[in-house]
Amino acid sequence: MSETSKVVLVTGATGGIGSAVCLRLANSGYSLILAARDISKLQAACAALDRPGLPSHRWISVDMSSDASIASFSHELATDGTVLDGVVLMPPQMRPTGDCQPPADMWRQLFQSNFIGPLELLKSAISTMRPDPSQGRGAKIVIISAITSVQALGNYATSNVLRCAWLAQAKTLAFAMGERGIHVNTLSLGGTLTPDYVASIDLRATKAGVTFSERLAEETLNIPLRKYGRPEEVALAVEVLLSPFSDHMTGVNLLHDGGFTRAY
Ligand SMILES: NC(=O)c1ccc[n+]([C@@H]2O[C@H](COP(=O)([O-])OP(=O)(O)OC[C@H]3O[C@@H](n4cnc5c(N)ncnc54)[C@H](OP(=O)(O)O)[C@@H]3O)[C@@H](O)[C@H]2O)c1
């Protein structure tokens, strides 16, 4: 690993968006720590990122729905002397639901896996950061969110609530940690063409008896740029937020939605 390479933790690293983020950051010379649950996927993802002459990468398995798993993750991070320069935090993907009054057990489980768990993990990651604003050295946190952070959407009842909670948490951390040189920004995504999302469009096309292209065109009619995002576009936005571009930005919620959100 190069002496100067920056170390970034990416959670959800083996998913549709995480894979694209890891590929982009690895190719740009970051040294990555990949986190997700499935060890075989993590091993394969790490191996696929290795390039001669570029920094090496490693992985730590973690289940954000389990306190014990997060404690073990935090222990591993703390004991090997890792100093993180950045974190790309991706809470697990939430399934759409039209039920605006989900049962208490569902809320408990969702808050654990999508808020409390990722937040505990983030706390342990922050404790390894050593920014030094007097030397112009910041640490950058990018929290992947969704456009439900700024508007309520039908069929996304739980996402509407949890994304707002993250927005408030990101602002709170940004206020508290700015002085230490820790930047906290969120990137709120609209529909993004991961393999899973493509499969869901395909399913809707089949149900509606139309082609994939016809369905895609119909679904994106209300998006000014007339398209969903691509994981590679998200990866570029994440890299930019980790870069000096955000040296005077914190507590910002950037929308990555093709212009879908109408509010100012
Ligand atoms: N795709 C979209 O259109 C879209 C739109 C708006 C926002 N987002 C947000 O973007 C982020 C990534 O989405 P994606 O589409 O790339 O999701 P994805 O393909 O389903 O990937 C999810 C990732 O999270 C890991 N994961 C799942 N449950 C976990 C848990 N309990 N603990 C730890 N890791 C877990 C998965 O690996 P393991 O299963 O091995 O753990 C995988 O690496 C999510 O926060 C999602 O809400 C996506």
Q: What is the distance in A from the centroid of ligand 1 to the CA of 134? A: 36
Q: Whose CA is nearest to atom 46 of ligand 1?
A: 93
| Count of Cβ atoms closer than 10 Å to residue 246 Cβ | 18
Kindly give the confidence (pLDDT) of every residue in the chain, 264 residues in length, as a single tens digit, with 9 standing for 90 and above: 445 699 999 999 999 999 999 999 999 999 999 999 999 999 999 999 999 999 999 999 999 999 999 999 999 999 989 999 999 999 998 888 889 999 999 999 999 999 999 999 999 999 999 999 999 899 999 999 999 999 999 999 999 999 999 999 999 999 999 999 999 999 999 999 999 999 999 999 999 999 999 999 999 999 999 999 999 999 999 999 999 999 999 999 999 999 999 998
- pTM equals 0.97
d(CA 77, CA 33) in angstroms, rounded, equals: 10
d(CA 117, CA 121) in angstroms, rounded, equals: 6
Q: Could you tell me the two tokens for 164?
A: 């707002």
The tens digit of pLDDT for each residue in 41-85 reads 999 999 999 999 999 999 999 999 999 999 999 999 999 899 999
- The pocket around ligand 1, CB under 6 angstroms, is made up of 12-18, 36-38, 41, 62-65, 90-94, 113, 144, 146, 189, 191-192, 194, 196-197
> Helix or strand or coil: residue 221?
coil
The tens digit of pLDDT for each residue in 197-206 reads 999 999 999 9
Angle at 142 between CA 137 and CA 148, to 5 degrees: 155
Give, to the nearest 10 degrees, the angle between helix 195-208 and helix 212-219. Answer: 100
With a pLDDT cut of 70, the percent of the chain lying above it is 98
Q: Do residues 110 and 92 make contact, with C-beta atoms less than 8 angstroms apart?
A: no
